[in-house]
Amino acid sequence: MNKITKLSMAALLGLAVLSTAATADVKKGQKIYLKKLKAKCGFSGAKFAHKHTQDEWENIKEAGKMGAEVTKICPKATLKPKYENDVYDFVYEYAKDSGNVPSC
């Protein structure tokens, strides 16, 4: 019984640590859009995020085409892979069907 308890507690702690490290951030994605993409795109983050619905953004992300989609929407812009998760969270949060409007 003692081994099972220790093992389950270790697994729970491991999952808690991994889940917090793997999350992206909407606010960070908004800042990345403002700093890296807005000038090259020439329009606001709201207009950028409204190019697709939440389901469409999710499908793009799952297909691994986030960077390609950013370049398709903004031909002058490129998105580094390290920024994809945060920008995805931003566009998903403020997608066409979300009802949310960003402040940028």
Q: How many CB atoms lie within 10 A of CB 27?
A: 12
Average pLDDT over residues 32-54: 94
Q: Inform me whether the pLDDT recorded for 74 exceeds 60.
A: yes
- pLDDT at position 56: 97
Counting residues of the chain whose pLDDT is more than 90, the rounded percentage is: 69
Burial class (CB in 10 A: 0-12, 13-18, 19+), 102: buried
The helix-helix angle for 54-62 and 66-73 (nearest 10°) equals 130
Q: How many Å apart are CA 51 and CA 88, to the nearest integer?
A: 13
Domain parsing of the chain, residue ranges: 24-104
pTM above 0.85, yes or no: no
Q: Tell me the per-residue pLDDT of 18-31, one tens digit each, with 9 for 90 and over.
A: 544 445 689 999 99
Cβ(86)–Cβ(32) under 8 Å? yes
Least confident of 2-11, 32-41, 45-54, 90-99: 2-11
Assign 101 a pLDDT band (cuts: 50, 70, 90): confident
Distance (Å, whole) CA 14 – CA 22: 12
